[in-house]
Amino acid sequence: MSAPDHRTLFTIFNRNNPSPTARALRNLSFESAFVLIVDEKNFNKKHRENLKRLKTWMTGSPRFHVKQKNNPHGFMEWPDRLWKDEWSWSALLEKNIQFLSVKEIDISTFESAGQRDIVDLTSGTKKQCADIIRAIDQLGANASFVLQTRNGHTLNLSSGEELKNTIPLSFRERVWLSSGYIVDFTLRGEPKSGKKWSDCVKEQTKSGKILPNATEIQASLGLNHPINLEAGYWLEHAVTHMMSSWPQISESYIAPRLINPSCGRSAGACFFTISASLKSRGAQKMMSKHVKEIQRIGTIRDFAEKSEAVLRFMRDTEFSKKESAYVIDRLHSIEFDAVAFDHDSGHVYACECKSMTSITNGVLSRINSITKLAFPTYGTSILVYAGSASATSYGVHKISWPELSSSTVLEDLPLAGKTYPSAKSNGTQIQSTNRPIAPSQEQLGELLLILRKDPRDYVNFLKLLEKNGFRAKGTLKRINQMSEELGFTIDYDRRDSQDWIIWGSEK
């Protein structure tokens, strides 16, 4: 038995997703904790990585998560100017938490359990939990059994009492635990602004687009710059603010970016992203002091030598504040247009925003794919657009943006489309944007280098192409044609995973 005032927490490590274990450690009050790792010997690579991520989460920062010196993608610690302190969270008192590897649940594990102790049964199979309950009973320990509910409560399984968690896991922590990415964002959703977007005058163009009245919403939001309805950014803002006003949403962010925790990988991919974007005047101006060096590195033929030079450049260059911000904005592998967290159901709504009236199935498939990648268990894909019909299509909630003013829009979605009631249209004409073109051989090669530094699945590679203003159609065939020259092979069956391109020797 432990000392009378001492409270110990017993919980099982959830090998498929460490979030429930983290929730138990964060929300329960204890002096010491045992995290039982059951059957660790038979853990696969994913289970081991999940355990490592949980341990990193406890330290409060993913900054030093990747530290193997033999990392083939280039080891590099996060330099101060490329790291933001806000990417961390509150640490747990590690010294009080012990990881206990056990072959199976055994009565001896709980010999020290006493009346004040807590057993969290959120993780583990039901049979394992049953074994724990019976072991505790056999010992006469009379400990409390609790479970973390998806809506952020600790449920006492004996009394039925539910306590709201005071420090729920933040969005950043949840993403880290479930997918291992660092989250960067600049703006949060604001319910006040959401109400203004909901109440603003909407106009339907001749092409069927539903747009806000730009002058009116600008005045209502008190902005001193006009809203450009021809670029799609207004919709990201509208969506995030409108969703933030739903009672069940506790956090929402505009355009959060997900960054690989390996600085070597992220910085390497970022370098090639910057290099590929130097064709634009804006990028040239921003990186004017470094253009020559970037171009020099670009001419290095040997990939290993080039990687080395890239890392040196990213690590040792004294970027100005503005340049650092520009670089940090390009470190990510995945970007969502908007996300919102529902504290009632535990769902993360990942949104893609398209200021257009027709959506291709490819777009729907892409948003679904990246949602599953970042939030495998509780991710819900939403596509918000300027069209008029809302429905569920290809597993994605396709929503006409004005309908986000209702917090029950997702539950009310019809299977067949319903039409947004046409407002008195002012007949605003929106000019069509230029059609994207296929990348040149050289441009495609540059983008493949990003992929080499920061592997991502095929769908995300297509997204990268589109983001750089290129057409994605027909790309695979062209990549295949370049494979011999660049020294890689394509595994067509593994396009859903990050290793669909297998690089040969470091040429």
Site of interaction with other proteins (CB under 8 A): 121-122, 126-127, 129-130, 133-134, 136-138, 145, 147, 149, 151, 153, 155, 157-162, 361-362, 364-366, 368-369, 372, 394-396, 459, 473-477, 480, 492-493
Token digits of residue 473: 């159609």
Nearest approach, Cβ of residue 498 and other proteins (Å): 16
Nearest approach, Cβ of residue 447 and other proteins (Å): 16
- 191 φ/ψ angles, rounded to the nearest 5 degrees: -55, -35
Beta strands in 356-465 (DSSP E): 379-385, 389-393, 396-400, 418-419
- CB-nearer residue toward other proteins: 27 or 240: 27
Beta strands in 386-479 (DSSP E): 389-393, 396-400, 418-419
Nearest approach, Cβ of residue 504 and other proteins (Å): 18
Rounded to 5°, the CA angle 257-78-453 comes to 65
- CB-nearer residue toward other proteins: 144 or 213: 144
- CB-nearer residue toward other proteins: 148 or 468: 148
The owner of tokens 């993403």 is 175
- CB-nearer residue toward other proteins: 64 or 492: 492
Helical spans, DSSP H, in 245-318: 263-277, 281-286, 291-298, 303-316
Contacts of 392 (CB under 8 A, 6+ apart): 398, 413, 415
Token digits of residue 219: 């005045």
Nearest approach, Cβ of residue 476 and other proteins (Å): 4
Nearest approach, Cβ of residue 472 and other proteins (Å): 10
Question: What is the C-alpha to C-alpha distance for residues 426 and 116, in angstroms, rounded to an integer?
Answer: 68
Rounded to 5°, the CA angle 4-9-15 comes to 165
- CB-nearer residue toward other proteins: 142 or 426: 142
Nearest approach, Cβ of residue 247 and other proteins (Å): 15
- CB-nearer residue toward other proteins: 158 or 406: 158
Question: What is the C-alpha to C-alpha distance for residues 295 and 275, in angstroms, rounded to an integer?
Answer: 7
- CB-nearer residue toward other proteins: 114 or 191: 114
Region of residue 153 (phi > 0: left; psi between -120 and 50: alpha; otherwise: beta): beta
- CB-nearer residue toward other proteins: 151 or 220: 151
Nearest approach, Cβ of residue 134 and other proteins (Å): 6
Check if the beta carbon of residue 345 is closer than 8 Å to that of residue 377: no
- 418 φ/ψ angles, rounded to the nearest 5 degrees: -120, 155
Long-range contacts of 279-287 (CB under 8 A, 24+ apart): 286/322, 286/323, 286/326, 287/323, 287/326
Nearest approach, Cβ of residue 158 and other proteins (Å): 5
Partner residues linked to 258 by β-bridges: 183, 334
Contacts of 217 (CB under 8 A, 6+ apart): 196, 197, 200, 227
- CB-nearer residue toward other proteins: 241 or 366: 366
Nearest approach, Cβ of residue 22 and other proteins (Å): 17
Q: Which of 460, 469, 471, 445 is nearest to 495 (CA)?
A: 460
- CB-nearer residue toward other proteins: 92 or 490: 490
Nearest approach, Cβ of residue 156 and other proteins (Å): 8
Residue 100: which H helix or E strand, with range? strand 97-102
